Amino acid sequence: MQRKSFSSMQCPIARSLERVGEWWSILILRDAFFGLTRFDEFQKSLDIAPNMLTRRLNALVEEGLLERHLYCEKPPRYEYRLTQRGRDFRPVLLALLTWGNKHFCPEGESIVLLDAQTGQNADPVLVDAVTGKYINEKGYIIGAGPAADETTLQRVAGAVAK
């Protein structure tokens, strides 16, 4: 399916989706946080066609989420490491993890987030770093930022009026 480009839209969610491209990209990033770096490791983990994996890895490098490092000269072999931009994606993965565990694991949790110090299960929630308050639907609303164009302003105004 041809997908239209979202990058021209002002919405930062649409722009983010444009960058992570396909589900495969999100699963590659997940595996990168698991410590995988090499083509063969990703391929084995994801059971993905090599040409598809090559495409997705190249896209993630182009978008600045992964960096390519030569680890063997003859033959040339590269490993893929998360950049800071890639690392900053972790909260998205943890939010997906939390949602998946809550709603789609009727047999119990298989993968969990643990406090490294205590080994206790963590319960990740969004908090406003400015005030320390929990971010719930009533307390926090979407608004227009300084770069909002007319379309975005209308969209936000419509949302507030609802």
Contacts of a second copy in 93-122 (CB under 8 A): 93-105, 107-117, 119-122
Q: How far apart are the first and last CA of the chain?
A: 33
For residue 63, how far is the Cα from the chain centroid?
13
Residues 65-84 that bind a second copy (CB under 8 A): none
Question: In the complex, what is the shortest distance from the CB of residue 74 to a second copy, in angstroms, rounded to a whole number?
Answer: 26
CA atoms within 13 A on the CB side of 91: 6
Question: The tokens of 144 are what?
Answer: 């227009």
Place of tokens 């990033």: 29
Q: Residue 73 or 118: which CB sits closer to a second copy?
A: 118
Half-sphere exposure (Cβ direction) of 112: Cα atoms closer than 13 Å: 13
Among the residue ranges 53-61, 73-81, 123-131, the one whose residues contact a second copy (CB under 8 A): 123-131
- Asked if 162 interacts with a second copy (CB under 8 A), we say yes
Instruction: Indicate the residue among 75 and 161 with the shorter CB distance to a second copy.
Output: 161
**Cβ distance to a second copy smaller for residue 23 or 70:** 23
Name which position in 8, 75, 131, 150 contacts a second copy (CB under 8 A).
131
Cross-strand bridge partners of residue 11 = none
Determine, following the binding rule CB under 8 A, whether residue 157 of this chain makes contact with a second copy.
Answer: no
Q: Determine the Cα–Cα distance for residues 122 and 116; give it in Å rounded to an integer.
A: 10
Query: Count of CB atoms within 10 A of residue 66's CB?
Result: 25
Phi, psi at residue 93, to the nearest 5°?
A: -60, -40
Nearest residue (CB) to a second copy, 1 versus 70: 1
Q: How far is the CB of 53 from a second copy (least distance, A)?
A: 13
Residue 70 or 116: the one with the smaller Cβ distance to a second copy is: 116
